[in-house]
Amino acid sequence: MTSLHDASAHTFASDNYAGAHPEVIAAVADANGGHVASYGADPYTARLSELAVETFGEGATIHPVLTGTGANVAALQALTPRWGAVICAATAHIYTDEGGAPERMGGLKLLTVTTPDGKLTPELIDRQAHGWGDQQRPQPLAVSITQSTELGTVYTRDELRAISDHAHALGMRVHLDGARLANAAASTGASLRELTRDAGVDSVSFGGTKNGLVLGESIVAFSPEAEEGITYLRKMDAQLPSKMRFISAQFVALLEGDLWLRSASRANAMARRLRDGLAGLDGVTVTQPVEANGVFVVLPRAVVEPIRAVHHFYDWDRASGEVRLMCSFDTTEAHVDALVDDIAVAIAAL
């Protein structure tokens, strides 16, 4: 088939826009051919299960799914009873960008907390952590944190441990939306295990597509209690891939070596380069710490649309003029420098 797009095109809209890493494509090709059992009864999913233990520790289980929203919904359903509610930041992806799926499909009430930087703290959690035994109030039984956050900030190991200890002391479980967990690990120098299991988290939605996979995400559970029901919930939530070998093979490629870290580290480095280039321009304000692969800035309003027409990016807060610029595993120094140069020229022409 003739390609239907410009393979040289690059934008700063989302790390979901990027293609698949060549090593991932090779892994899919290696998994192709012949007939292999479906729904996870294949050697690639078996190997992935071994890698989950090697990566996250003894007893960790991994469950490939189709989408990040599906991973979040199923993971949270497994952690909470039907009457349970989930505390999350008001900027959390499960609240702002999943079409109400946790509530509509998962039957989970979300209790949101406003944060300055996208990060929850024990004190912020306490704003919603109350009302147990009150039949008029949804019961707060889980906390969901996003790593890295929707504002590009990153929780440290100590911050995650403080949240987990606090939530567990109150009888709540902890879920981590790790769509960009690899970027957070690359940023902090911590291992995937140190930012999850060792920090007291109960389960993780471990991302793939934002870090070079064609498609597919996964749920990693660290205890029988966190895993209970996921086997059935994946099917109920339309998240059980029949040809699971192709999703598993991609995660094998990600985890068997250091591909997850190499890809995330490059995206993070390009975000820092972009921040440094923009910070010196008149009329540009970097609004959040650049700790992963996202850069949040306010640009002069007159330059936004002309620059967007060339490089494409999304508004974050139209009222303030804040935009989001995302870097990916395939973002290069040339891509970053071209964006900075074009913004500089546009500002100079005002």
Beta strand segments in the chain, E: 61-65, 84-89, 109-113, 139-146, 173-178, 203-206, 217-221, 285-286, 294-298, 314-317, 322-326
CATH code: domain of residue 320: 3.90.1150.10
Whether 298 is covered by a domain: the verdict is yes
Residue type, 127: R
Residue 135 inside a domain? The answer is yes
Other beta carbons less than 10 A from residue 326's beta carbon: 27
Residue type (1 letter), 304: V
Segment holding 326, helix H or strand E:
strand 322-326
Tally of CA atoms within 13 A in the half-sphere of 41 that contains its CB: 5
Q: Identify the pLDDT of residue 42.
A: 98
DSSP state of 147: S
Would residue 185 count as lying in a domain? Answer: yes
Q: Specify the pairing of strand 139-146 against strand 173-178.
A: parallel
CA–CA dist 310, 46 (Å, integer)? 44
Q: Do residues 166 and 265 both lie within one domain?
A: no
Query: Is 205 inside a domain boundary?
Result: yes
Asked if 274 and 222 sit in the same domain, the reply is no
Retrieve residue 306's tokens: 């002309």
In a domain, 199, yes or no: yes
Q: Count Cβ atoms below 10 Å from residue 240 Cβ, excluding itself.
A: 21
Task: Give the Cα separation of 47 and 251 in Å (integer).
Answer: 10
Q: Check whether residue 214 and residue 287 sit in a common domain.
A: no
User: Looking at the structure, do residues 286 and 162 belong to the same domain, yes or no?
Assistant: no
**Where a domain ends, among 202, 226, 258?**
258
H, E, C per residue of 204-230: EEECCHHHCCCCCEEEEECCHHHHCCH
Which pair of structure tokens corresponds to residue 132? 């147990």
pLDDT per residue of the chain (350 residues) written in tens, 0 to 9: 788 998 889 999 999 999 999 999 999 999 999 999 999 999 999 999 999 999 999 999 999 999 999 999 999 999 999 999 999 999 999 999 999 999 999 999 999 999 999 999 999 999 999 999 999 999 999 999 999 999 999 999 999 999 999 999 999 999 999 999 999 999 999 999 999 999 999 999 999 999 999 999 999 999 988 888 999 999 999 999 999 999 999 999 999 999 999 999 999 999 999 999 999 899 999 999 999 999 999 999 999 999 999 999 999 999 999 999 999 999 999 999 999 999 999 999 98
Instruction: Indicate whether 275 and 178 sit together in one domain.
Output: no
Question: Are 286 and 243 in the same domain?
Answer: no
pLDDT value for 100: 94
b/e map of 303-313 (b: 16 or more CB within 10 Å)? bbeebbeebeb
Task: Note whether 195 and 50 are same-domain residues.
Answer: yes
- At 180, the amino acid letter reads R
Element spanning 294, H or E: strand 294-298
87: containing domain: 22-258
Rounded Cα distance between 11 and 181, Å, is: 22
Which of 258, 293, 312 marks a domain boundary? 258
User: Which residue, 79, 78, 88, 132, is CA-closest to 110?
Assistant: 88
Look up residue 251 and give its two tokens: 């995660």
12 three-state secondary structure: coil
* 15 in a structural domain: no
CATH of the domain at 84: 3.40.640.10
The bridge status of strand 217-221 relative to strand 203-206 is antiparallel
Tell me if 8 is assigned to some domain: no
Residue that terminates a domain, selected from 258, 275, 290: 258
Rounded Cα distance between 334 and 270, Å, is: 10
DSSP symbol at 40:
T
Rounded to an integer, what distance in angstroms lies between the CA atom of residue 193 and that of residue 199?
8
- Provide the number of structural domains found in the chain: 2
Asked if 75 and 179 sit in the same domain, the reply is yes
Which tokens belong to 141? 């039984």
Give the strands of the sheet with 61-65, arranged side by side: 61-65, 217-221, 203-206, 173-178, 139-146, 84-89, 109-113
What is the Cβ-side half-sphere exposure of residue 346, based on CA atoms within 13 angstroms? 21
Q: Does 17 reside within a domain?
A: no
Strand, helix or coil at 80?
A: coil
Nearest to 67 by CA among 216, 203, 247, 177: 216
Same domain for 229 and 266, yes or no, is no
Interacting residues of 341 by C-beta distance below 8 A, sequence separation 6+: none
* 313 and 235 both lie in a single domain: no
Q: Looking at the structure, tell me whether residues 304 and 233 fall in a common domain.
A: no
Asked whether residue 78 falls in the same domain as residue 42, the answer is yes
CA distance 252 to 34: 19
